[in-house]
Chains A and B, each alone.
Chain A
Amino acid sequence: MNLTLKVWRQNGAEDKGRIVEYKMSDISPDMSFLEMIDVLNEELIEKGDDPIAFDHDCREGICGSCSMYINGEPHGPEDLITTCQLHMRSFKDGDTIYIEPWRAAAFPVIKDLVVDRTAFDAIIQVGGYVSVNTSGNTQDANALPVPKADADAAFDAATCIGCGACVATCKNSSAMLFTSAKISHLALLPQGKVEAQERALNMVEKMDELGFGNCTNTGDCEVQCPKGISLDNIALMNREFLGASLKSEK
């Protein structure tokens, strides 16, 4: 099929950036979206132009690298997948496709479609863990049974891939879904419960400090999340956060 691509090109953080148009022909419906960009990049290199910079690694929907808006939607038109899992059979011959980087104050553009998401790491660093040493001096793994329902719910929250689609789609650029997923994952397990309130307090404070916006419950994040992380996590996080705030006021 033949396509027209309109791609955001920005040469470094200082550059203002602009949309550049590319015509593509003979695109196979079996190609993944990123393979389609590979083909374009090979053509650009051949012509002596700079290829389009984009983050990608696993190409199977698990590393969370491949961030981009496709026609205004994070990771493109299909639900519950990342860009690398999107295939060209989701488009029609003659389509025009807009491709742009995440846009959020906390995720500055590095080049073209590549943004800096280290703010997510910074949120985890202030408490997104269980404070246990890695010495191996821990009790037997089966000493403390965990109800299957809790373990499954913790797992669901823990499948967040840190892609940032939730922030990118939110009109306030809020990182609530990402942060709450980690807080729930750990609060739902007995091992993580002990520090749950303090964790919530520290992570939420960090999130605000890094320039992510407030949550106004529009729920776009849940719709666009490739892993189906649920808004319920935000409610659980608010409980832990409120508990912690009440205590620290005492």
Chain B
Amino acid sequence: MTKLFDNIPEGPLADKWTKYKADAKLVNPANRRNIDVIVIGTGLAGGAAAASLGEMGFNVKSFCFQDSPRRAHSIAAQGGINAAKNYQNDGDSTYRLFYDTIKGGDYRSREANVYRLAEVSANIIDQCVAQGVPFAREYGGLLDNRSFGGVQVQRTFYAKGQTGQQLLIGAYQALSRQINKGTVTMYNRHEMMEIVKIDGKARGIIARNLITGEIEKHSAHAVVVASGGYSNVFFLSTNAMGSNCTAAWKSYKNGAHFANSCYVQIHPTCIPVTGDHQSKLTLMSESLRNDGRIWVPKKKEDSQAIAKGEKTALDIAEDDRDYYLERRYPAFGNLVPRDVASRAAKERCDAGFGVNKTGQAVFLDFSDAINRLGKDAVEARYGNLFQMYEKITAENPYEMPMKIYPAIHYTMGGIWVDYNLQTAVPGLFAAGEANFSDHGANRLGASALMQGLADGYFVLPYTISNYLADDIRTGAISTEHAEFEKAEKAVKDRLDFFMNNKGSKSVDYFHKKLGKVMWEKCGMARNKEGLEEAIEEIKAIREEFWKEVKVPGVQNSFNQELEKAGRVADFIELGDLMCRDALSREESCGGHFREEHQTTEGEALRNDEDYTYVAAWEYKGDNETPELHKEDLKFENIELKQRSYK
């Protein structure tokens, strides 16, 4: 069994990163322009990394599949970004943010990485403000904060409900500045199709130009995968339609380990599914739980009457409402972490208290806040979210409580990386949602944006330089190398297969089928029997896919079905790994809830004795069982406790 090295620097927790930076090897400025770095993804992680590496003088090639780097999925983040600034003087500190993140992640993340994240968080806000990110401000001109779930301080910075947009535009502008300077070359409408390794090191990629269909070879001294999360394995999720796992999956198949893939976050407040035509789910930001109260009727008859349209929420008297989060978790109330809030909603709906036709919806009610603060104040805080809700549902949330239900939202699992954010393949780095590193089994709200920017602006510039210091004499990597030819051929063969397969079913048919299996058997609640069934069902879907998939159009031109076919092929394989990972983790923790492992009150029951490890899976071949490597998590600064929000 190969051993995983986390490469965490020695020394006290609070000094590790400072010491790392002081000891890190550097590349002198004259050498940097002879070194090429490929960055896949222009979200917060990739955009920030490409801008920073370009600014340092490396020769950067940046890739995204959208028509512009500004459209990466990070643009859709709504609620905010955390930072331990303690501007509100409510006792926040680097240590508290670190502690909250470890606890929120149900003690399944690496202390050293999380501490570094908390440590650089304050700097992110300084950096973004200097770039002109228009965060919300108070009347005195200083920055405003709000709270998010799972914490008792106000440390979330925001720009109305468009925080992701504003942060991404900041990173995009920094990237644009480097493009103008010539340090970054931008390849939009390009899809990374394969990683190229030479002598065991990542040395380039094969990409498809999505306009012409041309297959291109790009070489580099290091490759960064910042391609986002894999929520779309469920077909329906809050992620953008194009979000996919291909870059991460190709990394896995080339030797990078895939860690904790079963840790998936289900967001409690999304607009419920309405019908089979549904293409995606829309998130209603967690920030709404600051002022919204979640409830269902106490009486089943009332729920049924509402579902039939005979009553509305307004007909239910105060005493007949069950504010079940406030009831079960008096200390945190409506602001419990996401996994807890989602499961509580499922519990009430499964018990028959759901409030729409499908029985899968609960109320999120703002009437108290409107009475207390006035409609204008509520509008100032959440105006765009309320508008978004009304556009989709044709109901006015100022007058009628929102109906919400949990949906797949974020993936904590991802490519295994060490302290350097380097994968098991030398020269291949992973950042942002694509890696597994900081959120354990559950991510706290407003921490993904923080992690993306921390990785991109502040961590990778040091760790990649440290790696590349040994590469200054390597010279340009030739794309004529046999490994490039081999990878290119594999990519072309697969595309040829899709174009020539005389199947009868569309790509979406398979994607929806996979999504259904994943949601039912590897979703909010899992058990052994269901997971074993899912593995068999996914196997059947995979066989049918390769026999029956139908891709219209031609290869050498713009072909969106062909793009989807490759992505869904990878999702099917990932689905299998997720079920295996979920099956092997015989405990409940964070977003991973195994029905066999719960307390008498229905809370998640961890097994610290046997499962305090990162499950990193190694690819062994297409029809082989992947190998499980365990990275033991050592808690030297925090004592493991049963998580309680009561």
Task: Give B97-141 as 1s and 0s: 1 = Cβ < 8 Å from A's Cβ atoms.
Answer: 000000000000000000000001001011111111011111111
Say whether chain A's binding surface is mostly helix, strand, loop, or mixed.
loop
**Contacts across chains A and B counted by CB atoms under 8 Å:** 212
On whether the beta carbons of B143 and A124 are closer than 8 Å, the reply is no
Which residues of chain A are near B275, meaning CB under 8 Å? 28, 30-31
Is B126 a contact of A57 with CB atoms below 8 Å?
Answer: no
Alpha-carbon separation in the docked complex, A141 to B550 (Å): 53
Is residue A42 within 8 Å, beta carbon to beta carbon, of the partner chain? yes
- Of the candidates B130, B241, B242, B283, the one having the most CB atoms from chain A within 10 angstroms of its own CB is B130
Cα A32 to Cα B87 in complex, Å, equals 42
| Chain B interface residue bracket vs A | 35 or more
Interfacial chain A residues near B211, Cβ < 8 Å: 110, 116
Kindly identify which residue among A38, A63, A85, A152 contacts B388, using a CB–CB cutoff of 8 Å. A85
Residue of A nearest to B387 (CB): A80
Q: Residue A140 contacts which of B67, B126, B179 (CB distance < 8 angstroms)?
A: B126
Q: Are A129 and B457 in contact (CB under 8 A)?
A: no
- Complex CA gap A53/B358 in Å reads 33
CA distance A80 to B179 in the complex (A): 32
Q: How large is the interface on A (under 10, 10 to 19, 20 to 34, 35 or more residues)?
A: 35 or more
Q: Which residues on the B side are within 8 Å of A12 (C-beta)?
A: 557-558
Q: For window 502-520 of chain B, which residues contact chain A by CB distance below 8 Å?
A: 506, 508
Q: Which residues of A contact B141 (CB under 8 A)?
A: 145-148, 151
A50/B126 contact (C-beta < 8 A), A85-B388, A118-B188 known: no
Residues of B within 8 A of A42 (CB): 506, 508
B76 touches A129 (CB 8 A): no
Q: Does B85 sit within 8 A of A, measured CB to CB?
A: yes
Contact B76 A131 (CB under 8 A): no
CB distance from B110 to the nearest CB of A (A): 22
Instruction: Judge if B282 is at the interface, Cβ distance under 8 Å.
Output: yes
Does residue B539 face the partner (Cβ distance < 8 Å to A)?
no
Complex Cα spacing A151 to B67, Å: 29
A217 within 8 A of B: no
A50 to B562, CA, bound (A): 11
Residues of A within 8 A of B127 (CB): 134, 136, 138
- Hey, which chain B residues are within 8 Å of A154, CB to CB? 132, 134
**In the complex the two chains form, is A191's CB within 8 Å of B129's CB?**
yes
**Known: A32-B279, A58-B73, A138-B130. Is A125-B391 also a contact (CB below 8 A)?**
no
> Interface readout for A78-111 with B: 1 if CB under 8 Å, 0 if not?
0011000101010000000000000000000011
Instruction: A36 to B275: give the CA distance in the assembly, Å.
Output: 12
Q: Check A63–B240 contact: CB distance below 8 A.
A: yes
Binds A, one of B48-56, B192-200, B635-643: B48-56
A128 interfacial contact with B, CB 8 Å: yes
Given the contacts A111-B558, A158-B169, A65 and B132 also touching, CB distance less than 8 Å? no
A45 touches B (CB below 8 Å): yes
Q: Are B506 and A46 in contact (CB under 8 A)?
A: yes
- Determine whether the beta carbon of A87 is less than 8 Å from that of B394: yes
For the complex formed, measure the closest distance between the CB of B381 and the CB atoms of chain A, giving whole angstroms.
13
- Measured between alpha carbons, how far is A199 from B352 in the docked complex, in Å? 60
- Do the beta carbons of A185 and B388 come within 8 Å of each other? no
Given A58-B73, A139-B126, A35 contacting B457 (CB threshold 8 A): no
In the bound complex, residues from chain B placing their C-beta under 8 Å from that of A142 are 85, 87, 142-143
Minimal beta-carbon separation of B445 from chain A (angstroms): 18
| A58 to B120 alpha-carbon distance, docked (Å) | 29
A38, B279: Cβ atoms closer than 8 Å: yes
Q: Known contacts being A50-B552, A51-B552, A128-B173, is A65 close to B71, with CB within 8 Å? A: yes
Q: Does A171 have its Cβ within 8 Å of any Cβ on chain B?
A: no
Q: Which residues of A contact B (CB under 8 A)?
A: 11-12, 28, 30-32, 34-36, 38-39, 42, 44-46, 48-51, 53, 55-65, 80-81, 85, 87, 89, 110-111, 114, 116-118, 120-121, 124-126, 128-136, 138-142, 144-148, 151-152, 154-155, 158-159, 161-162, 185-186, 189, 191-192
10 closest Cβ contacts across the A-B interface?
A145-B141, A129-B173, A155-B134, A138-B130, A141-B129, A57-B240, A154-B134, A111-B558, A63-B71, A125-B180
Q: List 27 A-B contacts (CB under 8 A).
A: A12-B557, A31-B275, A35-B279, A45-B552, A45-B561, A56-B241, A57-B66, A58-B241, A59-B241, A59-B282, A60-B388, A61-B388, A65-B67, A110-B558, A125-B180, A128-B176, A129-B132, A129-B173, A129-B176, A141-B143, A142-B87, A145-B137, A145-B140, A145-B142, A162-B70, A191-B131, A192-B132
Other contacts beyond A30-B277, A134-B131, A141-B125: 19, CB < 8 A? A35-B279, A50-B552, A57-B242, A59-B280, A61-B388, A63-B71, A116-B211, A118-B67, A120-B68, A121-B70, A121-B188, A129-B131, A130-B131, A135-B55, A136-B126, A136-B458, A138-B123, A158-B166, A191-B132
